[in-house]
Amino acid sequence: MSVSRRKFNREFKLAAVKRLDAGVPAGRVARELEVNPNQLHRWRQEYRRRPNSAFSGEGRRREEETQVAELERKIGQQAMEIDFLKGCLRRIEDLRMSQAETSDPRSSSKSVKSKKGAAR
């Protein structure tokens, strides 16, 4: 059984780093936030190196997540196509029904009788 990785947003990481900078021991912050202390130290280093651009983006996506996202996009596209085609089919059926209602049923029986008489 594999454990999925958690993603932390920028605000969460900044709050953790600020608690470390305020003098709260890393072990205590790590326990409270349920994060590895080494991760906290990496976040602090990153923040100290580039305070304005630290923690930007989503980080590296795992291959599985990328594949899942691609498949979800395909499913969404196919669902839209199915809905579009269902609408087209409904319009065609409505058009056939309206044509059937407007056509004279006696005219079709006359044409069948005249064809039978012509064949004799």
pLDDT at 51 > cutoff 80: yes
**Mapping DSSP to helix (H, G, I), strand (E, B) and coil, where does residue 103 land?**
coil
DSSP per-residue string spanning 23-48: T--HHHHHHHHT--HHHHHHHHHHHH
64-99 tens-digit pLDDT: 777 888 899 999 999 999 999 999 999 999 999 999
pLDDT-based confidence at residue 27 (cuts at 50, 70, 90)? very high
Radius of gyration over alpha carbons of the chain, in Å? Answer: 34
CATH number of 8-59: 1.10.10
Say how far apart CA 23 and CA 47 lie, in whole Å: 16
Which of 2-16, 23-37, 66-80 is predicted with the least confidence, judged by mean pLDDT? 2-16
The full set of domain ranges for the chain reads 8-59, 61-102
